[in-house]
Structure 1
Amino acid sequence: MQAATYSGDVCAISASKLTIRGVNGRPQINAAGKSYGGKGIWVVRGNDITIDNVEMFGAKVADKNGAALRLEGTDFTLRNSFLHDNENGILSGANTASTVTIEYTEFGRNGYGDGYSHNLYIGKVAKL
Structure 2
Amino acid sequence: MKYIGARLFERELKKGSAELLILSLIERRPRHGYEISKLIEQRSEGLLKFNVASFYPLLYRLEKRGFITGRWVEKEGQRRRRYYQLTAQGKKVLKDQRSCWADFVLAINRITEDEHA
Q: Tell whether the structures are fold-level matches, with TM greater than 0.5.
A: no
Larger radius of gyration: 2
Higher relative contact order (CA 8 A, sep 6+): 2
Instruction: Write 1 or 2 for the structure with the bigger share of strand.
Output: 1
Q: Please, what TM-score do these two structures have when normalized by structure 1?
A: 0.21
More helix by share: 2
Normalised by the size of structure 2, how large is the TM-score?
0.22
